[in-house]
Amino acid sequence: MIFSRKRDNGRDERGTEVLGTSAADEPAVPARGPYDASEAPADMPRLDLGSLQIPAVPEVEVRVQADPQGVIQQVVLVHGDNALQLGVFAAPRSEGIWDEVREEIRQSLFNDGAAAQEVQGEYGTELQARVRTPDGITDLRFVGVDGPRWMVRGVYQGRAATDPSAAGPLAVCLDGLVVDRGHEAKPVREPLPLRLPREVADQATSADDTAAEGGAPREV
């Protein structure tokens, strides 16, 4: 299944135009995201990380891990005791990949001794699991959204992993995500490139230089 929710804008779930509809009959944007950059609403400020643009939602902290060149390896949104890790990947033009990816995640968890079960959520079939970590037992909820030539994967931790209604502002961020896939050919499942905004990367470089000189580093 590609997208669990219908887009009432004359497109099917992959964003393909549906025959029999006219542009005049289509709303400007889908009712909810994640959105493709070609149809994203300009309804809120977003943090531009390249292939992902994350809504600026009050009380949600965006944490990233990036290398010295500003290339991001991990994006995690935090609100209270809940967290949402985000990833975005290339997908084929003809079909979504979440069903296949979800089964591979389930099998990997099983091999590690963790049971996982499929549940129905707002975006279709999700995966819930309970895993053992150095900090103890942790609940996880995997959410996948197939778009036009991309897939967004989200992993909830905290109470939101077992109670979707507890996701609150994190769910608002997921609904408002924008994916800028670009036009380059990419291998299926390859992570789409994420980078720090230039001004943030420049601040981080300046802070590193200051620390190397023995001065007090500046917060970024």
Say how far apart CA 59 and CA 155 lie, in whole Å.
19
Question: 13-18: long-range contacts (C-beta < 8 A, 24 or more apart)?
Answer: 13/146, 14/95, 14/96, 14/146, 14/147, 14/148, 15/39, 15/147, 15/148, 16/148
Say how far apart CA 178 and CA 167 lie, in whole Å.
19
Residue 115's pLDDT is 86
Is-contact 179 37, C-beta < 8 A? yes
Output the tens digit of pLDDT for each of the chain's 220 residues.
222 333 333 334 434 333 444 444 454 556 789 999 999 998 889 999 999 999 999 999 999 999 988 899 999 999 999 999 999 999 998 899 999 999 999 999 999 999 899 999 999 999 999 998 888 899 999 999 999 999 999 999 999 999 999 999 999 999 999 999 999 999 999 999 999 987 665 554 444 444 444 544 333 2
Number of residues that make up the chain: 220
Residue 29's pLDDT is 57
> Half-sphere exposure (CA, 13 Å, Cβ side) for 48?
7
Domains in the chain with CATH codes: 35-197 (3.40.1000)
Threshold 0.85, pTM exceeds: no
Say how far apart CA 131 and CA 109 lie, in whole Å.
8
Residue 6's pLDDT is 33
Residue 18's pLDDT is 39
